[in-house]
Amino acid sequence: MRITVKTGLITAGIWILLKMGVFLTGILGTYVVPLVMLNILGVLLAVAIGLYFQKKQEEEESNLLTDVKNGLASGLTYALVVSVFLYFYYSSIDPEFNAHQIAEFEAGLQKELNDPKSFQRIKDSNPEFEVKSKEEIFESLMQGPKSFYSPGSTMSISMLSLLLLATINSIFVSLVYRKIMFRKGQTAS
């Protein structure tokens, strides 16, 4: 197995262990920002470490495109493993999280619909709402969060965002390595 793929698997495994540790201890509750930031860091580390070890193994000099491709191998592996894990996490391990997010949105929407000024603003925002009752508007507006907070859409969004991050990180890390660490005639120590 290529070192870049191994690096992607190892960094994804570390992030999964962190996510499960936070879930089992309940440290963060429903606050996900630190884990999202760690996920972003995980993509960067997967690309940077994988590309570093790949370049250390190379016997002949490579071009920028090859470096970007090798960085993407780590990033893609990381993105795939983490996204599939998130699908199973939100469908089997912690389905209450999605139910909590939907309930929070529902409470906020009920509050807005019960306020006459907010209700009128909502009715004015969409021509279809002019002839609908408050309950029909509520059902229409709840369709978005219900589909957004499903495990499938979470997996799709995480896959797209992680692939985008992996691509950007791969280009950036490749440029940094070529300009700073692995210049012609020099090797990293």
User: Three-state DSSP class for 28?
Assistant: coil
Q: What is the pLDDT of residue 125?
A: 82
Q: Which residue did the predictor score with more confidence, 99 or 16?
A: 16
Asked if 75 and 162 count as a contact pair (C-beta separation under 8 A), the reply is yes
pLDDT digits (tens, 9 = 90+) for 99-152: 888 888 888 888 888 888 888 888 788 788 777 777 888 888 888 887 788 888
Band (1; pLDDT cuts 50, 70, 90): confident
Neighbour tally for 90: CB within 10 Å: 21
Has residue 189 got a pLDDT over 60?
no
What pLDDT sits at residue 166? 96
| Whether residue 186 has pLDDT greater than 60 | no
Per-domain residue ranges for the chain? 3-94+151-181
Check residue 37 and give its pLDDT: 95
Average pLDDT for 18-30: 89
3-state SS, residue 57: helix
In this prediction, residue 6 has a pLDDT band, given cuts at 50, 70 and 90, of very high
Q: Over 70: is that where the pLDDT of 18 sits?
A: yes
Tally the C-alpha atoms within 13 A of residue 168's C-alpha that lie toward its C-beta: 9
pLDDT digits 0-9 by tens, 58-78: 877 778 898 999 999 999 999
| Alpha carbon separation from 188 to 19, 65, 131, 181, 184 (Å, rounded) | 33, 20, 69, 6, 11
Instruction: Please provide the average confidence, as pLDDT, over all residues in the chain.
Output: 88
Checking if the pLDDT of 12 tops 80, the result is yes
Q: For residues 62 and 47, what is the distance between their CA atoms, to the nearest angstrom?
A: 16
CA distance 34 to 30: 11
Q: pLDDT grade, residue 43 (50/70/90)?
A: very high
